[in-house]
Amino acid sequence: MLMKYLFAKNDEIPAGSATIFFGFSSIFWFVVGTGLGSFNAAKLAFPDWVTGTELFAFGHMRQVHVLAVIIGWISMAFGMTMMYMTPALGNTKLWSEKLGLWTVFLWNIGLSLGLLLLWMGITSGREYNDLIWPIDLVVIFGVLLPLGINVWMTIAHRKTQGIYITNWFFGACIFMVMIVFLVGQSPELFNLTGLTEAYLTFWFAHNVLGLWITPVAAAIAYYTIPKLTGNPLYSHRIGHLHFWAIIVFYSTPASHHLMSAPLPEWLKSFASVEGVLILIPAVAFVANILLTMKGKWTMFVENVETKFSITGVLLAIPLNMQGGFQQTRAINWYVHGTGWIVAHAHLALLGMSSFLEAAAVYFGLQQMLRRKLYSLTLANLHYWFFIVGFCIYWISMTIAGLIQGAGKIYEVPYIDVVVAEHPYMIARWVGGTMVFTGNVVWLFNMWMTAREGTLVPEGRYAHELAYER
Amino acid sequence: MAFKMDQPLYSLSDEAEQKEILALWEKEKHGGLSEGNNRIPFPITFLLGLIILTAFMITMPIWGQRPTADIYVDYVALMDSAEVQSMATPEEKMNYIAKTAYAKADARRQGALERHPLAWDDLLNIAPQIKEIQSGKGKYPLDNYNVLGDRIALANFEGNFTEGGYRERKQPWWDLGYTIDVFYVSYFLITMVIVIKRLPHFSRKPNLG
């Protein structure tokens, strides 16, 4: 069906097609990404698991997991939400369904190729920016630019005078992440090595997290929570505070990721203050959303999309408390290079961001398919596998990180630290596997929704109808 | 679009513009969504102020800094003493040295020693290096050197030129990064106040039905 629409006239493509293909692609990559995560975690928990084959070595597999989740699941879920929220918020239709379909097509092709190359060991060798530069150029010009054109043009053709806060973030974040990807290629393109390469690597990683993964997830919540609850967004003015604080405080030097490196100390000080100040947009966002929930807190229990969404918002609190303070000199010397950071990264990507996106994908797919969710039971099963699995993962890795930190500081022999961490590595695998299992259930549930979900009448929302299963 | 400056903390927009904005918020639905004009709750405002204060306080280089070589001078002096030599185990020796040096130290030095305990083996390794610098062979004074495990290295800072003709290599408690941040945060706050005060005052709520 995708191939048919790729060469059809724009007007002949049903509205919402791009959303649906983006949505199912994102869930597929979430299954792949978390499946790889579970596989990799098993290698850490059980060292004899799949040995002797270079392709399945941890060093080959790790970055495939990371990029499958970031560019596959998270970014495609963003693409999906942009395809339906941007036009909805402008009371218009998507500027080009055809461009949206080509974007999702090229995205899947490019990502598959990129991950295959990573798996083969063809990599830039730089964390989070592991893809080689030609693939990154495909990401920039084959994925982000077409996505951006569609979003910007839809906003430009809106039928409202104002622009809703979600669309501020969508429009700005696509632009910023393109700049981040372009600058992020400079070590490869200009043969920058040593400290400069390290610095640019973490400038890239910092800004992909802060100008793409977390703010777009937050932008999604500005849509889903008012939409689901029927309440107006609590405050337009707090939205300003959130948006501009992200732009000002997150886009700064990022040298607080390299506190032990011989970068100029003043640059670290500059970045470190900004690192704590990231709590400003975080507080603004959380307060705005939680106050929007006023009078509708029962939905946190009763409505599965709200449950996912508010869980993501609540996880933003520990995420930013950790993120704000763990980069300071006082704490970083202890946790740097330990499992604590791995736990924190998963709190951001698998916790806050993924829960918010899952809510939007659940909501958007039902709306665009015009079908009610196939099974509430399966959706709740997904939620509980997701949250319990995530918590097991996060808590166990945090403890493992503290053990590693103590081992590092008190110069405990490395092998003793490895032995002490072993139970937590098993817990990590259990938690990650639960998340993976939940996602398989989700994919099945959404597939069945597309095939057998109850039809939603015109003018109604899926969440207004009663579940049948 | 005119700025109104007579009540800057109430609103920077004139009455006509405030009414226009409120009317727009009431009329316009973004895909069925609307926005309120509620103020930032006072506890949140307080929290934001606390965050800014905390950001500067907690990131000062003095927290989490590496130990400087000068804090172990008394350790080096004590390690060859008869009392220490007569002790049987490294633990006993270090315990005695740490307690004795701690008692002699001023409050700032005591804090540094508490944060940076030293093992006997590391003391054996760094002692000759400290003595070498003390003997005048080092270009810089001892407090310009960091202790990195079992070795000593010139600290990675470039401060002011001193009377001795060398550049100070001590970790400052305030630096250029903070100066930039003071301006950065100030500009942000000023801009945000202008942006938010251009909106209708929070006491004027749109009727969102």
- With CB atoms and an 8 Å threshold, state whether B44 touches A235: no
* Total count of domains within chain A: 2
- pLDDT at position B208, please? 84
Cα A260 to its chain centre, rounded Å, is: 28
CA atoms in the 13 A half-sphere facing the CB of A349:
28
- pLDDT at position A333, please? 87
- With CB atoms and an 8 Å threshold, state whether A164 touches B63: no
% helix, strand, coil for chain B, step of 5: 55, 10, 40
**Is residue B138 scored above 70 in pLDDT?**
no
A7 assigned to some structural domain: yes
- pLDDT at position B3, please? 84
Q: How far, in Å, CA of A463 to CA of B198, rounded?
A: 37
- With CB atoms and an 8 Å threshold, state whether B178 touches A277: no
Q: How far, in Å, CA of B42 to CA of A231, rounded?
A: 22
- pLDDT at position A262, please? 83
* Closest Cβ opposite residue A272 in set B34, B59, B156: B59
Smallest Cα distance from A397 to chain B, Å:
23
Residue contacts between A and B (CB atoms, under 8 Å): 168
Is residue A73 within 8 Å of A29, Cβ to Cβ? Answer: yes
* Closest Cβ opposite residue A270 in set B52, B181, B202: B181
- pLDDT at position B1, please? 65
> What ipTM, to 2 d.p.?
0.90
Q: How far, in Å, CA of A100 to CA of A80, rounded?
A: 9
Domain with A367 in it: 293-469
Nearest C-alpha neighbor of A177 from the set A297, A38, A79: A79
- Final residue belonging to a domain, choices A163, A186, A202: A163
- What's the one-letter identity of residue B8? P
Residues A310, A452, single domain; the answer is yes
**Is residue B140 scored above 90 in pLDDT?**
no
Partner A, chain B 34-53, Cβ-Cβ below 8 Å: 34-41, 44, 47-48, 51-52
**Is residue B10 scored above 70 in pLDDT?**
yes
- One digit per residue, the tens of pLDDT, for chain A of length 469 reads 788 889 989 889 999 999 999 999 999 999 999 999 999 999 999 999 999 899 999 999 999 999 999 999 999 999 999 999 999 999 999 999 999 999 999 999 999 999 999 999 999 999 999 999 999 999 999 999 999 999 999 999 999 999 999 999 999 999 999 999 999 999 999 999 999 999 999 999 999 999 999 999 999 999 999 999 999 999 999 999 999 999 999 987 889 999 888 888 889 999 999 999 999 999 999 999 999 999 999 999 999 999 999 999 999 999 999 999 999 988 998 999 999 999 999 999 999 999 999 999 999 999 999 999 999 999 999 999 999 999 999 999 999 999 999 998 888 999 999 999 999 999 999 999 999 999 999 999 999 999 999 999 888 888 888 787 7
Give the least confident one: A113-127, A363-377, B85-99, B139-153.
B139-153
**Torsion angles phi and psi, residue B93, rounded to 5:** -60, -50
A247 assigned to some structural domain: no
Which residues have a Cβ under 8 Å from the Cβ of B31 and sit 6 or more positions away?
Answer: A85, A88, A89, A90, A91, A164, A223, A227
CATH code: domain of residue A360: 1.20.210.10
- Final residue belonging to a domain, choices A142, A163, A184: A163
Helices and strands, counts by H and E, chain B: 8, 2
Q: Angle CA(A279)–CA(A202)–CA(B156) in degrees, nearest 5? A: 95
Long-range contacts of the stretch A43-46 (C-beta < 8 A, 24+): A44/A425, A44/A428, A44/A429, A45/A422, A45/A425, A45/A426, A45/A428, A45/A429, A46/A429
Q: How far, in Å, CA of A115 to CA of A32, rounded?
A: 11
The H or E element spanning position B151 is strand B151-154
| B137 or A429: which leads in pLDDT | A429
Which residues have a Cβ under 8 Å from the Cβ of A186 and sit 6 or more positions away?
Answer: A192, A200
Binned at pLDDT 50, 70 and 90, residue B173 comes out as: confident
Provide, as residue numbers in chain B, all residues whose Cβ is less than 8 Å from the Cβ of A227.
Answer: 31-33
